[in-house]
Amino acid sequence: MKMGMKTKRNIEKTFLYILVFIMIIFYIFPFVWSILSSITSNKYLFRENLGITFESGAVVNSVHGNTIANKANFKMKDIIKEVNGIKIKNSSQLINVLNKIDKNNPVEFKVKRKIRVIVVNGIEINYITNLKDVLNDYKETKEIEYMKMGNSLYINGARFEYSEKLINIVKTIQETKNANYQVKELNKIIPIKADLSSVKELKDKTNIIGLDIDDKRFTFSNYILVFSERPFLRYIWNSIIVAGTTTILSLIFGAFAGYSVARLKIPGKIAIMSLILAVSMFPQISILGGLFKILRNLNLINHYWGLIIPYIAINLPLTTWILQNFFRDLPASIEESAYIDGCSKFMTLWRIVIPLSIPAFVTTGLLTFIAAWNEFLFAFTFITETNMYTVPVAIAMFSGKSQYEVPWGQLMAASVIITVPLVIMVLVFQKKIVAGLTSGAVKG
Secondary element (H or E) of residue 317 = helix 305-329
- pLDDT in the model for residue 429: 75
Position with higher pLDDT, 366 vs 196? 366
Position with higher pLDDT, 27 vs 12? 27
What's the pTM? 0.65
- pLDDT in the model for residue 282: 82
Q: Which residues contact 282 (CB under 8 A, 6 or more apart)?
A: none
Q: Is residue 302 within 8 Å of residue 311, measured between CB atoms?
A: no
Helix (H, G, I), strand (E, B) or coil at 14: helix
Tens of pLDDT, residue by residue over 215-253, are: 555 678 788 889 988 899 999 999 999 999 999 999 999
DSSP string covering 16-81: HHHHHHHHIIIIIHHHHHHHHHHTS-GGGTTSGGGG-----SEEEEEE-TTSHHHHTT--TT-EEE
- pLDDT in the model for residue 49: 45
Helix (H, G, I), strand (E, B) or coil at 148: strand
Task: For residue 206, give the DSSP letter.
Answer: G
Evaluate whether the domain defined by 226-437 bears CATH number 1.10.10.60.
Answer: no
- The C-alpha R_g of the chain, in whole angstroms, comes to 34
| For the chain, domain boundaries | 42-114+187-219, 122-179, 226-437
pLDDT-based confidence at 257, cuts 50/70/90? confident
State whether the Cα torsion 289-293-294-300 is positive or negative. Answer: positive
Tens of pLDDT, residue by residue over 396-425, are: 998 876 666 778 888 889 999 998 888 888
Q: Which fold has domain 42-114+187-219?
A: Pdz3 Domain (2.30.42)
pLDDT-based confidence at 444, cuts 50/70/90? very low
